[in-house]
Amino acid sequence: MPYLSADFDDDVARVVFERPQHRNALDLDTLDAFTEALLEAERRGCRAVRISGAGDDLSAGRDHRERAHADPARWHSASRSVAGALQGFGGLSIVAARGMAYGFGCVLAATADLCIASESARFALDEVPRGYTPKFVMGQLMVRLPERVVIDLVCTGRTIGAQEAMRLGIVSQVVDDLCLEAAVDRLTARITSNDPRALRDSKRHVRGLATLTEIGRREAAAIYTGANVIIQEA
């Protein structure tokens, strides 16, 4: 049984990890349900998907008790499916991080489009201290974070606070613990008030630019600048 709820209302999907007694640790069934919720949000054309955890934590990461006995290939497949569905969602994904955001929870915060964290939120990549080589985690984070940041967090397994997470680029905004839900509400309302086509096109363009080298980005900027000049002159 997956420990997850998913609600779809107009332009917004709300996904909540529902295992607070275990700090919302994610088992295989929950990862599969998470993938399906993201795919359903895309099928419905949602402009935003909000991701949070019930209780005091976002997620302690993958369920290590189940992981110790499950087929590693099954875990890898489930994780890749979540990542693919998250990246394939055309609207904006918003993570509300409170309490623990460890392992997969930390990766989720870093790879979503936006993440608002409460002041007391804590982030860590705890796979190496547990004896795992987190190849999937590193592959996901290298798209978003500098190499030295990834090496530091992965190889030390140290826990960082919300303010440092924001400086490193894992978090986009930090708010008071009591203001987290209101802050996510405001951000969601602002996003969903925008033109849906422009919203999706803008996200797709930014993601495309993010895969380019610095030279490629400059060339792309020059092309668009030239195109704007031609349009203005015409």
Domain with 133 in it: what CATH number? 3.90.226.10
User: Are residues 51 and 71 part of one domain?
Assistant: yes
Sort strands 100-102 and 114-118 into parallel, antiparallel or unpaired. Answer: unpaired
CB distance 121 to 162 below 8 Å: yes
Question: Has residue 79 been placed in a domain?
Answer: yes
Mean pLDDT to the nearest integer, 89-93: 98
Residue 132 lies in a domain: yes
pLDDT reported for residue 89: 98
Q: How far is Cα 166 from Cα 173, in angstroms, rounded to an integer?
A: 7
Same domain? 199 vs 185: no
Identify whether residues 114 and 38 lie together within a single domain: yes
> How many Å apart are CA 165 and CA 72, to the nearest integer?
29
Least confident of 65-69, 80-84, 181-185, 193-197: 65-69
The residue among 159, 109, 163, 99 whose CA lies nearest residue 129 is 159
- Which residue is it, tokens 């792309």? 220
pLDDT bracket for residue 215 (50, 70, 90) = low
Structure-block tokens of residue 169: 């680029």
Give the CA count within 13 Å in the CB-facing half-sphere of 185: 5
pLDDT the model gives residue 207? 86
Q: Which residues form the domain of 151?
A: 4-192
Residue 225 confidence class, pLDDT cut points 50, 70, 90? low
Task: Examine the domain organization and report whether 92 and 16 are in the same domain.
Answer: yes
Quick one: 126 and 202 in the same domain? Answer: no
> How would residue 231 be classed by pLDDT, with cut points 50, 70 and 90?
very low
Per-residue pLDDT of 26-80, as tens digits, reads 999 999 999 999 999 999 999 999 999 999 999 999 998 887 778 889 999 999 9
**DSSP labels, the chain:** ---EEEEEETTEEEEEE--GGGTT-B-HHHHHHHHHHHHHHHHTT-SEEEEEESTT-SB--B-HHHHTTS-HHHHHHHHHHHHHHHHH-SSEEEEEE-SEEETHHHHHHHHSSEEEEETT-EEE--TGGGT---HHHHHHHTTTS-HHHHHHHHHH---EEHHHHHHHTS-SEEE-GGGHHHHHHHHHHHHHTS-HHHHHHHHHHHHHHHTS-HHHHHHHHHHHHHHHHHHHH-
Q: Is residue 173 part of a domain?
A: yes
Q: Is pLDDT of 217 > 60?
A: no
Contacts of 158 (CB under 8 A, 6+ apart): 124, 152
| Average pLDDT estimate for 111-120 | 98
Number of structural domains (the chain) is: 2
What pTM did the predictor assign? 0.89
Mean pLDDT value across residues 86-113: 98
Shared domain check, 99 and 42: yes
pLDDT of residue 234 exceeding 60:
no
| pLDDT at residue 229 in the model | 44
